[in-house]
Amino acid sequence: MFPKKFDYYSPKTISEAIGLIDELKDAKVLAGGQSLLPMMKLRLATPAALIDLSNINGELGSIVQDKSSVEIGAMARIAELAKSKAVQKSLPALYDASLVIADTQVRNMGTIGGNLANADPNNDMPVVALALNAKMEVRNKNGKRLESADGFFVGPYTTKIAENELLTKIIFPVEHGRFGSAYSRIERRIGDYALAAAATSIKLESSGKVTDARIAVAGISMNAIRLEAVEKALIGAKPDQKTTNEITLKTVKDIDVEDSYYATASTKRMAVAYAVQKSLDKVYERAKAKK
């Protein structure tokens, strides 16, 4: 529980931070530290330097809403998302997640950017980003670019962010009309890692038919994935619970899942299907309530 020696840097601006990332060897970016610091205490991570982003908060921690999007700085704390009217109103799935990640202490420190950049296979934010079709703003010393959530998660703990780059912002499109999104997680004990997690979003036409759907899950793969077969089955239908659940179960059956010490493959599949169902139930409620 005693980390190895490391150098500590506290840049005041984004460009200063990017300069440090570029120049330092074996440095890690410190956001909320809720994953990195425990790893360092266990000496499973031994970076030579930490670049602490918390003093760039002004520039990195903001939540800004306009007509078509909500832009959230990478250093926005999970607890701040839970308090944001914009998140609650326009990004219900993100709001759901920000209430249930880990525990109060972790939510007060943990950040949305840190969660996404860490890309833990069972973490909460990657599925939310996928379901809400988010764009990640990534910067390096030559400029910035946007990465779509769909291509962002490359593998376990691996994203499109290169060694010399920084995730600075997450841009969530805001949908209008009969739209809903939701997040559900299955955990053995409150505050634990999710055994399974699902974020979903749907659009309905006035008849109640689904015109668009995104369903993302964690718990049965090495990173967050979309269940495209389930999405396809929903579009153009007025889905009922039973049919959706059957399709979900069928879809996850085809996914190659490994047994773990904490749950067998079949338990994980059941848990994912259950999380999808719980999430969709909420989504329908929310979308139908909209004019």
Partner 1 sequence: MERLERFVAGEGNYVDDIYVEKPLYMAVLRSPYGRAKINSIKGGMNFHDIDKVLMSVGEGASEGRKAIMHPVFAKSTVNYVGQPVAAVFAEDPYEAEDMLETVEVDYEPLDAVVDPEAAIKAKPIHEGMKSNVLSDRYIGKKFNIDADIVLEDRLENHRIATNAIEPRGILVNYVSGNLVIYASTQSVFSMKNGICGTLGLDGDKVRVIQADTGGGFGLKGGVQPEYPIAAYAALHYKRSVKWIETRSEHLMAANQGRGAIGKMKLYANKDGRMLGIEGEIVVDAGAYAGGMAEFGPGFIAMQLTGQYGIENGYVHAISVLTNKVPYGPYRGAGRPEAAFFMERMVDMLADKIGMDDARIRLLNSTRTQFKSPLGLEIDASKPFMEKAIKKLGYSKSGNKNAGLSLFVLVPGAAPGESARIAVQDGAVHVWLGSNPHGQGHEFFVKNLLSKEFGIPKSKITLEVTDTEKIKSGIGTWGSRSAMVGGAAAVTVARAIKEEVAKRNGRYSPKALLAGDYDHFEFYKYNGSINAFGANLAFAHVESIGRVRVDEVRAFYDVGNALDMGMVKGQISGGIVQGVGQVAGEEVIYDSNGQLLTSSISAAGLVRAAAIPKMRIAVDQNPSSLPHKARGLGEAPTIGTPAAVVRSIEKASGRRIRETPITEDALL
User: How far apart (Å, rounded) are the C-alpha atoms in residues 232 and 5?
Assistant: 51
Span of 60-68, 82-90, 109-117, 181-189 interacting with partner 1 by CB under 8 A: 181-189
Rank residues 90 and 122 by Cβ distance to partner 1 and give the closer one: 122
Task: Assess contact for 74 and 159: CB atoms under 8 A.
Answer: no
Tell me the C-alpha to C-alpha distance, in Å, between residue 64 and each of 13, 55, 71, 106, 162. Answer: 19, 19, 5, 23, 26
Those residues whose C-beta lies under 8 Å from the C-beta of residue 93, and which sit 6 or more positions away, are: 128, 131, 132, 181, 182, 183, 199, 200, 201, 279
Binding map of partner 1 across residues 210-249, x = CB under 8 A, - = no contact: ----------------------------------------
Asked whether the beta carbons of 129 and 90 are under 8 A apart, the reply is no
Backbone angles phi, psi at 203, to 5 degrees: -115, 140
Shortest distance (Å) from residue 285 CB to partner 1: 18
C-beta of 269: minimal distance to partner 1 in Å? 10
Which region, judged by CB under 8 A, interacts with partner 1, from 53-61, 104-112, 127-135, 267-275?
267-275
Q: Give the residue with the Cβ less far from partner 1, 105 or 264.
A: 264
From first CA to last CA, the distance across the chain in angstroms is 54
Indicate whether 274 belongs to the interface with partner 1 (CB under 8 A): yes
Distance (Å, whole) CA 68 – CA 175: 7
Among 75, 167, 218, 271, binds partner 1 (CB under 8 A): 271
Q: Is 8 in the site for partner 1 (CB under 8 A)?
A: no
Q: Which of 63, 112, 186, 217 binds partner 1 (CB under 8 A)?
A: 186
Out of 190, 207, 242, 254, the only residue in the binding site for partner 1 (CB under 8 A) is 190
Closest CA to 258 of 248, 269, 270, 247: 269
Regarding 5 and contact with partner 1 (CB under 8 A), the answer is: yes
What is the per-residue binding string for partner 1 in 39-78, x denoting contact by CB under 8 A?
---xx-----------------------------------
Q: Which residues pair with 69 in a beta bridge?
A: 173
Binding partner 1 (rule: CB under 8 A), the pick from 68, 108, 243, 264 is 264
- Closest approach, Cβ 200 to partner 1, in A, equals 17
- Which of 233, 204, 229 lies closest to 217, judged by CA? 229
67: left (phi over 0), alpha (psi -120 to 50) or beta: alpha
Applying CB under 8 A, which residues contact partner 1?
Answer: 1-5, 42-43, 186, 188-193, 261-264, 266-267, 270-271, 274
